[in-house]
């Protein structure tokens, strides 16, 4: 026995709503994935900049340390000559 016309349309409407909700959820997931990818790219760029800064700071610290040690050596030599 066939379902009355009103119930058939109601079922179709429910199925259409489910499809619409699924499509909307898929769009939101896609948008979320795009946002996550953009954030990841931004974080990768920040990480590269931080690594460059740390590398430069370590190099500058090493150069400064060498200058201090060299200066101490010069002062020791001058003191020993006097």
- CA–chain centroid gap for 72, Å, is 45
Residue 57's pLDDT is: 94
13 Cβ contact list (under 8 Å, min separation 6): none
To which H or E segment does residue 38 belong? helix 5-81
Give tens-digit pLDDT for 33-82: 999 999 999 999 999 999 999 999 999 988 877 777 777 766 666 666 65
pTM above 0.75, yes or no: no
- CA–chain centroid gap for 32, Å, is 14
Rounded Cα distance between 45 and 75, Å, is 45
């Amino acid at each position: 026995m066939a379902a009355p016309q009103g119930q058939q349309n109601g079922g179709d409407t429910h199925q259409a709503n489910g499809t619409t909700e699924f499509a909307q959820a898929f769009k939101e997931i896609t948008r979320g994935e795009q946002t996550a990818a953009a954030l990841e790219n931004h974080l990768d760029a920040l990480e590269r900049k931080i690594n460059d800064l740390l590398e430069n700071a370590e190099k500058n610290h090493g150069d400064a340390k060498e200058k201090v040690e060299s200066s101490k050596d010069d002062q020791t030599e001058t003191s020993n000559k006097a």
